[in-house]
Structure 1
């Protein structure tokens, strides 16, 4: 019985990677060729929705009516490489969001044209509260972009919502842009950090409260950051690891 379960897990994992490769080859190549975020996000959304359908992973979203029709920063917990795919499949493609990623991903040759075709904002390798990275976020907001930010930075094998970096909050206050808190559930189980074997599981996105920016000083930035962390925690289904 154990061997049968192991064989089934490996068979599904190989199938899921095959589906991913085919979708990336077709839809991802089109995004890279178009180099138009307006159209690329539509293509990416269609591709990721097809990916999850073929992989047998149900994806669903709740509270979408809470998303403002105006510019905002969407904060989401980061638990897996699957997060970006799930958000692309579930969130509206128009006007759409610009993902904020670290330079290490953009420096990978095959990914760079894809990220550029989606209008991605690329941060330097240093921490999110580095002045240069904050300036990049501010510039993106001034250009009218709504951003998706993973405020924990990277992800780790351990469960729990980590402490937030301050960059997105400083930028939101400086540009007077509201923050929307959201939580992903199931992505960590679908592809755990440290393993490359996908598992068939449901993934859910829940949109939480909208937090308006207040003030310009460090204390108010800290209060906004703590309020966002507290609001996101119950949306993730995981424990608080931010201490």
Structure 2
């Protein structure tokens, strides 16, 4: 039995409530029990109870030591849940387990889908590389090899759900060499540019990629120039190779940031591309890639489908071969790429 006060919102007075447990179900017997409780209450406190609640056994809450929990019982009384049957423990545990399993399933299904897509995408990329090796590499001319690689890259992009949208292709100087510079946000940037441009470029790649024989053979057949970033003498040799390429009518392609990070943002540009353009007196073609970072971030190997916009800016003509002109070319190229890539300017932030 529990006795407690219950505030009456209408009268502003506190009512006396008695909660008593009984298993009796007969109406007359229950009335007799209620009358007896009312009589005893009057004898004890000289007041009749305002409400007598006859509840099933175990309705009056108790502590582990057997003390009555009046406040908790009163709360159940006010909420109308007093005397209602409690959910069995086994059902509570089962329900909790089922809810937990459902939540894990909701998380597992998208993850499994991501892994399945990744396996499919890497399979397509592997087939594309095999086709390039079998069809493009044996061709005698670099321009032919790049045209085949262009069509294969376009097919691989479509099959993997990577939709490329090109803007400003009319700016491309088809009849003269140029130095292409683009922001670097993903491992897929080279694939994306190859799918967009049907023209052959001489990409620059870090020297580490030339160590495995097969990689070195494939990349050299595709006209890639290897650069030793930490060796000043080798870097000068690379600059001479770039100049020679431009003078011979080739178009070198740079990622002047040098590398990329998982976090969004355009980093500082190295000067090599712009010094080469100024010395060779060939235009710089700024290209902004928007959206590739979300397809395959740095330190990740799970690609994702999506849309990538490639925007080509107007060619920037060098006016002299001086260092100051190279700086101007860098600044204008970078300003265009920052504006069109949709990513923050990390140089300004720093």
TM-score, length-normalised on structure 2?
A: 0.65
Match of 2:266 in 1: 161
Match of 1:211 in 2: 316
SS of 1:34's partner is coil
Q: Does 1:2 align with 2:107?
A: yes
Match of 2:191 in 1: 85
Match of 2:307 in 1: 202
Higher mean C-alpha displacement, 35-44 vs 161-170: 35-44
Match of 1:134 in 2: 239
Larger relative CO (CA 8 A, sep 6+): 1 or 2? 1
Structure 1 residue 220 displacement after superposition: 2.6
Given that residues 28 and 44 in structure 1 are in contact (C-alpha distance below 8 angstroms), is that contact kept between their aligned partners in structure 2? no
Structure 1 residue 33 displacement after superposition: 3.1
Structure 1 residue 2 displacement after superposition: 1.4
Instruction: Provide the rounded CA distance (Å) in 2 between the counterparts of 1:163 and 1:171.
Output: 17
Higher mean C-alpha displacement, 110-119 vs 194-203: 110-119
Given that residues 288 and 336 in structure 2 are in contact (C-alpha distance below 8 angstroms), is that contact kept between their aligned partners in structure 1? no
How many residues are treated as equivalent by the alignment? 241
Given that residues 29 and 114 in structure 1 are in contact (C-alpha distance below 8 angstroms), is that contact kept between their aligned partners in structure 2? no
Q: Does 1:123 align with 2:224?
A: no
Which of 174, 183, 192 aligns to 2:279? It is 174
Higher mean C-alpha displacement, 115-124 vs 54-63: 115-124
TM-score, length-normalised on structure 1?
A: 0.92
Match of 1:14 in 2: 119
Q: Does 1:186 align with 2:291?
A: yes
Matches within 5 A, 1:98-109: 98-109=202-213
Given that residues 190 and 198 in structure 1 are in contact (C-alpha distance below 8 angstroms), is that contact kept between their aligned partners in structure 2? yes
Instruction: Provide the rounded CA distance (Å) in 1 between the counterparts of 2:244 and 2:129.
Output: 30
Which of 195, 214, 218 aligns to 1:110? It is 214
Instruction: Provide the rounded CA distance (Å) in 1 between the counterparts of 2:292 and 2:212.
Output: 23
Structure 1 residue 219 displacement after superposition: 2.5
Given that residues 278 and 322 in structure 2 are in contact (C-alpha distance below 8 angstroms), is that contact kept between their aligned partners in structure 1? no
Structure 1 residue 74 displacement after superposition: 1.1
Given that residues 121 and 140 in structure 1 are in contact (C-alpha distance below 8 angstroms), is that contact kept between their aligned partners in structure 2? no
Higher mean C-alpha displacement, 149-158 vs 161-170: 149-158
Instruction: Provide the rounded CA distance (Å) in 2 between the counterparts of 1:121 and 1:142.
Output: 15
Q: Does 1:23 align with 2:128?
A: yes
Instruction: Provide the rounded CA distance (Å) in 1 between the counterparts of 2:340 and 2:218.
Output: 30
Structure 1 residue 47 displacement after superposition: 1.1
Given that residues 61 and 206 in structure 1 are in contact (C-alpha distance below 8 angstroms), is that contact kept between their aligned partners in structure 2? yes
Q: Deviations over 1:55-104 (max 9, x none)?
A: 121112111011112211111111111000010011023xx222122211
Match of 2:342 in 1: 237
Gapped regions of structure 2 (runs ≥ 5): 1-105
Match of 2:74 in 1: none
Gapped regions of structure 1 (runs ≥ 5): none
SS of 2:203's partner is strand
Structure 1 residue 17 displacement after superposition: 0.7
Match of 1:143 in 2: 248
Aligned-residue RMSD, C-alpha:
1.8
